A and B are shown apart, each in its own frame.
Chain A
Amino acid sequence: MSERFDLCVIGCGVVGLAILRRLAMSGLKCVALEKGADILSGASKGNSALLHTGFDAPPKSLELVCMQAGHAEYLDIRHKLNLPLLETSAIVAAWSDEELAKLDAIEQKALTNGVKDVKRLTQTELRIREPQLAKAALGGLLVPGEHVIDPWSAPLAYAHQALAHGAKIMRNAEVTSAEFKTGVWHLTTAQGPIAARVVINAAGLYGDHVEALAHEASFKIKPRKGQFVVFDKPAAKLLRAILLPVPTERTKGVVLFRTIFGNLAIGPTAEETDERENAKTDTGTLEKLKARAIQMLPALESINVTAIYAGLRPATEQSDYIINALKDENWITVAGIRSTGLTGALGIAQHVTKLYAKHFGKLPKKLPTPIWTSVPNLAEHMIRPYMKGGEILCHCEWVTRGEIEAATQGPLPAGDLGGLKRRTRAMMGRCQGFYCAAHLTKAFEKARHGTS
């Protein structure tokens, strides 16, 4: 006999977890299924961790609506969930007269999109703000509302709040079949059968595969790969704002940005790929990214590379998000959530909740009192656990034994080493495990299983 739910979300990326959170907080009995060993093991694992205003999004798009609602809700709830915000602002920098000429249109689009606080910067103003920037920068457009956030703690916090509201999260639970019978979906998963009245497909990079389990998919996921190069900590002092390029017809271009963990990174590239998981980096592209970063910020020349990674965005053939409710099938599709998903997630959840209420029955009249669950802080600019003592196990990122142990406990313990890294920053620093990997993995296994 399978457990019966009001709602089943397929996919525990940032989008699935934000949806799970909002619907669980609306009083529905919810479950979320994740194919990977831990949450955030697909597209949400590698992105640029920016909180966007939507100033350059397509006007009137659903993407823009969700991003702006998501941006606002993040700022509204972040203190209650202990989520950080690095208030960097962004600058669209022009490096040629041709690019300079395009700033007018970008400014106009920002105003159309309701982002009213943008401001043009002359070359002098740009140099005063960013003295380390290469002299070739001619001017820019300041977007004060663009910020840097923690790409992993935010969705982890959404998951924890959903759990506190009674939701269930099942990992290693790939869905292999779906059958709709007398108003109920019966799903076969690697963890056993699940029955739910409504299914929400938030399967990201596998969105089309999951859709095909239920009916013919109206879209195809065309993964777009983005490679990144992360520089060591001293680099973060070289730049204040997120440095955005002027987009060309062909590409949005690569961004230079500080990370919430105190580093500086460049990326992403935009490459069509068939890969759906564990995207490959390649030396040639990484070398080009590094060179481009040094070209923009010459002082980077003497700073080491700390990390390299590649992320995958679940793009489709359509330019906007695909969010549809199939009324007769008790099914909501949430697909094509590309690079803006981290910003858009909370807004997407609001939109999906409206679709649910419209098509699949009213939400409970009396909403449960919200329970606020806080997550440990990983942001470099805020108070971190090592400051209170403890034993440091990861010397580059100053991660304590207490943090490693905490990550293996609670209602959503790290499911694998990647999950541990995303919950603690351990092994993500400049030595990449030279000093710490051996004893850290041992401490992790011991904390998980009580043995070494």
Chain B
Amino acid sequence: MEHHDVVVIGGGPAGLTTAWELSKRGMKDVVVLEREAEAGGIPRHCGHKGFAPFKSFGLMTGPNLARHLRGETKALDIRTSTTVLEFTIRDTLRLHSAKGIAEMSAGKIILATGTRESSRAARLIGGNKIAGVMNTGELQQRVYLNGERPFKRPVIIGSEWVSYSTLLTCRHLQVKPVLMLEEESQHAAPSIFRWGARLLGTRPVRYAKLIAIHGSKSVESVEVEMNGKRKHVECDAVVLTGKHRSEDALYSNGYLEREGPAPRVTDKFTTSRPNIFAVGNVLGHLETAGDCMKRARELAAVLTS
């Protein structure tokens, strides 16, 4: 069975930075496993500026950050199109790649599988099951990777940081959202973003709740509740932003102990299993790519001290 000193699961900002930092600190046998065909993680499809992980670079776009990370780690063993299917009962990894299924063991495993937004189903949003309902993740891949124009009059749900990323995507498409809804009483993003939203011509509506999504083949309207009153708003798409949750497919079966929806870790990034560490957004708090990279450097320091 193939064995490595360190195996990093996930080739986004946290995973790549961990591997890079470990190699800089002298660890030679580090492998990164990435299920997508290209490493870089979520920033790959955040086509707008707003990433500032390095002071000297100023504001970068997501794809530039992803490219930069791939460049820095070019000499490392990064295996794309390689999926970790599960942790086995022997505490090894069951892997899928083009060649088939294989097993890999590791001295230390770094879980850096990141986060995703809650789906419509997870939010139990009723109405018709139709095309045109998507998360920011899907939207940005359609726009920045596929070059699609998925809508003209979207409604955006949420006012977290990522919701403003959606607004920037809309601006890129020269599309003005018909409504931006915030379900909690307080905006989750700092006020500078709210002003940014206004400058982009969209004002978040507070105290509003999405009740249902309607349409026969694709989205035609949403039903929202504002100030206790229900009303229909015509639109052609719904972008469900935020409410991120840890990508938990590998440990949701109880393999790692949890704290809320994320794996429980010590201040040294150790999970309930002493040889498995977790870093980045898999820990459940949505942080910027820069913060994830900072944590990854801290983890590398812990592992090599």
Contact surface of A with B, Cβ cutoff 8 Å: 229-230, 232-234, 237, 278-287, 290, 302-310, 386-392, 395-396, 398, 417, 430-435, 437-439, 442
Any chain A CB within 8 A of the CB of B135? yes
A433 to B140 alpha-carbon distance, docked (Å) = 12
Interface size for B (C-beta < 8 A) is 45
A278, B216: Cβ atoms closer than 8 Å? yes
- Greatest chain A CB density within 10 A among B98, B129, B253 is at B129
A417, B127: Cβ atoms closer than 8 Å? no
Q: Contacts A391-B81, A439-B146: A286 and B119 contacting too (C-beta < 8 A)? A: no
A435, B137: Cβ atoms closer than 8 Å? yes
B119, A287: Cβ atoms closer than 8 Å? no
Q: Which of B35, B127, B253, B254 contacts A392 (CB 8 A)?
A: B35
Any chain A CB within 8 A of the CB of B97? yes
Residues of chain A within 8 A (CB-CB) of B126 are 280-286, 308
B145, A438: Cβ atoms closer than 8 Å? yes
A310 to B213 alpha-carbon distance, docked (Å) = 14
A439, B145: Cβ atoms closer than 8 Å? yes
Q: Which residue of B lies closest to A430 (CB)?
A: B249
The smallest C-beta distance from B181 to any residue of chain A, in angstroms, reads: 15
A290, B124: Cβ atoms closer than 8 Å? yes
B121, A232: Cβ atoms closer than 8 Å? no
Any chain A CB within 8 A of the CB of B224? no
Q: Which residue of B lies closest to A299 (CB)?
A: B254
B121, A308: Cβ atoms closer than 8 Å? yes
B141, A389: Cβ atoms closer than 8 Å? no
Q: Which residue of B lies closest to A432 (CB)?
A: B119
Chain A's interface: helix, strand, loop or mixed, by majority? Answer: mixed
B122, A305: Cβ atoms closer than 8 Å? yes
A282, B146: Cβ atoms closer than 8 Å? no
B134, A433: Cβ atoms closer than 8 Å? yes
A234, B135: Cβ atoms closer than 8 Å? no
Any chain A CB within 8 A of the CB of B17? no
A438, B98: Cβ atoms closer than 8 Å? no
Q: Contacts A286-B124, A433-B138, A438-B142: A387 and B130 contacting too (C-beta < 8 A)? A: no
Q: Which residue of B lies closest to A386 (CB)?
A: B96
A233 to B251 alpha-carbon distance, docked (Å) = 11
Q: Which of A283, A391, A433 contacts B98 (CB 8 A)?
A: A391
Residues of chain B within 8 A (CB-CB) of A306 are 121-122
A287 to B124 alpha-carbon distance, docked (Å) = 7
Q: Which residue of B lies closest to A229 (CB)?
A: B124
B100, A432: Cβ atoms closer than 8 Å? no
Q: Which of B96, B131, B245 contacts A304 (CB 8 A)?
A: B245
Any chain A CB within 8 A of the CB of B85? yes
A232 to B119 alpha-carbon distance, docked (Å) = 12
Q: Which residue of B lies closest to A281 (CB)?
A: B126
Any chain A CB within 8 A of the CB of B128? yes
The smallest C-beta distance from A310 to any residue of chain B, in angstroms, reads: 7
Q: Which residue of A lies closest to B124 (CB)?
A: A286
Residues of chain B within 8 A (CB-CB) of A234 are 252-254
B35, A395: Cβ atoms closer than 8 Å? yes
B122, A442: Cβ atoms closer than 8 Å? no
B119, A434: Cβ atoms closer than 8 Å? yes
The smallest C-beta distance from A429 to any residue of chain B, in angstroms, reads: 9
B145, A392: Cβ atoms closer than 8 Å? no
Any chain A CB within 8 A of the CB of B101? yes
B99, A389: Cβ atoms closer than 8 Å? yes
Q: Which of B99, B101, B116, B211 contacts A434 (CB 8 A)?
A: B116
Q: Which residue of B lies closest to A396 (CB)?
A: B249
A442 to B147 alpha-carbon distance, docked (Å) = 11
B130, A278: Cβ atoms closer than 8 Å? yes
Any chain A CB within 8 A of the CB of B258? yes
A281 to B120 alpha-carbon distance, docked (Å) = 12
Q: Which residue of B lies closest to A287 (CB)?
A: B124
A386 to B85 alpha-carbon distance, docked (Å) = 11
A–B complex contacts, Cβ < 8 Å, 15 sampled: A230-B121, A234-B254, A278-B216, A282-B212, A283-B125, A283-B212, A287-B124, A303-B252, A304-B248, A306-B122, A308-B124, A308-B126, A434-B117, A434-B119, A438-B148
A306 to B245 alpha-carbon distance, docked (Å) = 13
Any chain A CB within 8 A of the CB of B163? no
The B90-130 residues at the A interface (CB cut-off 8 A) are 96-101, 116-117, 119-122, 124-130
Residues of chain A within 8 A (CB-CB) of B253 are 233-234, 237
The smallest C-beta distance from A131 to any residue of chain B, in angstroms, reads: 15
Q: Contacts A278-B128, A287-B124: A390 and B98 contacting too (C-beta < 8 A)? A: yes
Residues of chain A within 8 A (CB-CB) of B138 are 433-434, 437-438
Residues of chain B within 8 A (CB-CB) of A287 are 124
A281, B129: Cβ atoms closer than 8 Å? yes
